[in-house]
Amino acid sequence: MLNFIYYPVSGILWVWHKVFGAIFGDGAFGGAASWALSVVFLVFTLRVILFKPFVAQVKSMRKMAEFQPEIKKLQAKYKNDKQKLAAEMQKLQSEHGVNPLAGCLPILLQAPVFIGLNHVLRSFNRPGLSYDQNIKIPNYWLPTEDVQSFLQARLFGAPLSSYIAMADNELNAFVPHVGRFDVILVSIPLMIVASIATHLTARHNVARQTAAVTGNPQTAMMNKLTLYLFPLGVLAFGAFLQIGLLFYWLSNNAWTLGQQYFVYHRIDRDEAEAKAKKVEQRNNLAPKPGQKPMQQVRKAAKPGGAADAADTTDAADAADTAAEQTESKSNGSSAPANGSAVKSDEPSTKVPGLAPNQARKKQSRKRR
């Protein structure tokens, strides 16, 4: 029924086993090491594929945190109309370019892989069948020789498809015989480390949330579940998880923790650079010390505009001065010999406190 999941999972497992089998060999411990690393790199392969959706998830969460106050307003406004609230929420998310499904995609795609790996690992040692019968049945993409290699591999005495709560008859089906204590010695440390990795991953995620998000009661409850209930769940239900699945859980959380650290810091750096660029642009547009704002605008609109205006004013002043000097000479040469002044119809330009040239210059400017 779910062969579209089982075949790709077993195919990726087969590829990585061939890679690590060539390195570690196919003995009891070497075979177990190659199979365990095959499970780990199955996780890494999936997470590399899901890297871009994870980045989209982080950006979506940050955008949602930015307009969290608007969400609260909508919730208060339409608290008695769930249908209208859902429509307004969808409209708000569309305006901000947020896709809620982008945040769920990585989790939704990891769940089928976990289910598929659980089924493939159990299919190595089918209940009710003896060892001789199991090694003759291919496991989806894995041929019979790889099934035999997997069943004979031991990680410190424990097969990767065994688990603490496994029935005695299923443990006895392994050849050579497997003791439950051997399974416990391998499973318990993996359960503890996987639980700690789950808690650290959740703690790092919660620490990156804003105050507006953590103040939401639903978010606060989910944070408590991920911080404490999920890690305790790994310890409680780890006895029913195969050793191979414990490797899957541990490597998945370790990858998530490292990926969160890398992606969050890269986004922080990009946002800091964008903010610094905006500040630099704003500073460039601001007037320089001692400079009037209008002079800054003129300079921005027409380079050299302020200087040209100053030059024009100086030129006008020089022209006025030259005209006054010429007029003065002309009046002096046409004066009567007896020194009497020539009457003029022009109003007197004499202004108290100013020299004649300065007064004439001032009158000329007024006329203009």
pLDDT of 347 strictly over 70: no
Q: Do residues 184 and 239 touch, judged by C-beta distance below 8 A?
A: no
Give residue 329's pLDDT: 47
Give residue 209's pLDDT: 64
pLDDT of 331 strictly over 80: no
| pLDDT > 70 in the chain, percent | 68
Average pLDDT (213-226) is 66
Give residue 113's pLDDT: 87
Average pLDDT (104-116) is 79
> Mean pLDDT across the chain, nearest whole number?
75
Give residue 39's pLDDT: 93
Give the domain ranges of the chain.
3-277
Q: Do residues 155 and 36 touch, judged by C-beta distance below 8 A?
A: yes
Q: Pinpoint the alpha helices (H) of 153-209.
A: 168-172, 180-207
pLDDT of 295 strictly over 70: no
pLDDT 10s digits, 245-271? 999 999 998 998 888 888 888 877 877
pLDDT of 358 strictly over 70: no
Give residue 292's pLDDT: 60
Residue 158's DSSP bridge partners are: 155
Closest by Cα among 149, 117, 250, 240 to 195: 250
Label residue 336 exposed, middle or buried (CB < 10 Å: 0-12, 13-18, 19+).
exposed
> Which has more confidence, 273 or 195?
195
pLDDT 10s digits, 5-23? 899 999 999 999 999 988 8
CA dihedral 168, 170, 176, 178 (to 10 degrees): -50
pLDDT of 336 strictly over 50: no
Give residue 343's pLDDT: 44
pLDDT of 318 strictly over 80: no
pLDDT of 38 strictly over 50: yes
Distance from C-alpha of 295 to C-alpha of 283, rounded to nearest angstrom: 16
Give residue 192's pLDDT: 93
| pLDDT > 90 in the chain, percent | 18
Q: Please report which confidence band the pLDDT of residue 361 belongs to, taking 50, 70 and 90 as the band edges.
A: low
Give residue 45's pLDDT: 93
SS3 78: coil
Q: Do residues 9 and 38 touch, judged by C-beta distance below 8 A?
A: no
Lowest pLDDT segment from 72-76, 150-154, 258-262, 328-332:
328-332
> Which has more confidence, 296 or 291?
291
Lowest pLDDT segment from 67-71, 128-132, 251-255, 265-269:
67-71
Average pLDDT (208-223) is 61
Give residue 191's pLDDT: 93
What six digits make up the tokens of 354? 């100013």
Question: CA angle, 15 as apex, 14 and 18 as ends, to 5°?
Answer: 85
Q: Please report which confidence band the pLDDT of residue 69 belongs to, taking 50, 70 and 90 as the band edges.
A: confident
Give residue 288's pLDDT: 66
pLDDT of 207 strictly over 90: no
Average pLDDT (158-178) is 85
Highest mean pLDDT among 97-101, 182-186, 227-231, 288-292: 182-186
pLDDT of 148 strictly over 80: yes
Closest by Cα among 4, 32, 7 to 17: 32
